[in-house]
Structure 1
Amino acid sequence: MSHDCSTPTIADGTYVFDARGIARRFRHAAIFGALDALHPGERMRFCNDHDPLPLLSQITNVFGRKVNIEYVSRAPGEIVIDFIVAA
């Protein structure tokens, strides 16, 4: 399955967040800020070069059931995760 994380998909409530273009020291703050800005029913499609397991744990601890996590792709070098804000 191929994913183009450079093209925003907003019509269906999905916002693309490509972490690969953000300096590592700013990534977590940017991701948490983006998740906090989403409205119920919206989703953020997160693209990264590695599986961010510590980040996912932090998101679960901070947001709990408010944010659902769904993998779209776990291909090496092409991790795509949808973060969906519960309605």
Structure 2
Amino acid sequence: MSEAQTQASEVSHVDVRTLHPGERHPKIFGTLHTLTPGGVLHITSDHEPRPLQYQLETALPGKFSWEYLEQGPEVWRVEITRLDAGCDCCCGSH
């Protein structure tokens, strides 16, 4: 996503380094569900968030894009953009 698109969109931030591990994915998914199409979530983490990416792609395929803004070794930053306004149901997987 271009910088101009990000500035024009709603941008939320979650720094998972400040959250208990059991709160991280629920907080992220809760925030993602509030985004409208074009809305953006920036996540900051102290570890590679690839498991989150796989979970997102499995639970909500085609609804979000994923772009690394920074890739460690100490800090990872990811931009997730809402692409689709359709149902966020996870087909009973939660």
What TM-score bracket applies, with the shorter chain setting the length? Answer: 0.7 to 0.9
Letter in 1 for 2:55: Q
Q: Does residue 33 in structure 1 map to residue 33 in structure 2?
A: no
Percent identical among aligned pairs is 29
Greater C-alpha Rg? 2
Q: Report the Cα distance in structure 2 between the residues aligned to 1:52 and 1:35, rounded to whole angstroms.
A: 15
- Structure 1 segments of 4+ aligned residues over 2 angstroms from their partners: 9-12
Letter in 2 for 1:26: E
Shift of 1:45: 0.5
Q: What TM-score, normalized to structure 2?
A: 0.76
Partner of 1:61: 58
Q: What TM-score, normalized to structure 1?
A: 0.82
User: What's the C-alpha RMSD, in Å, of the aligned pairs?
Assistant: 1.8
Gaps in structure 1 of 5+ consecutive residues: 1-8
Partner of 2:91: none
Shift of 1:29: 0.9
Q: What is the SS of the residue equivalent to 2:67?
A: strand
Partner of 1:42: 39
More strand by share: 1
Letter in 2 for 1:36: H
Q: Report the Cα distance in structure 2 between the residues aligned to 1:84 and 1:11, rounded to whole angstroms.
A: 12
Gaps in structure 2 of 5+ consecutive residues: 1-5, 85-94
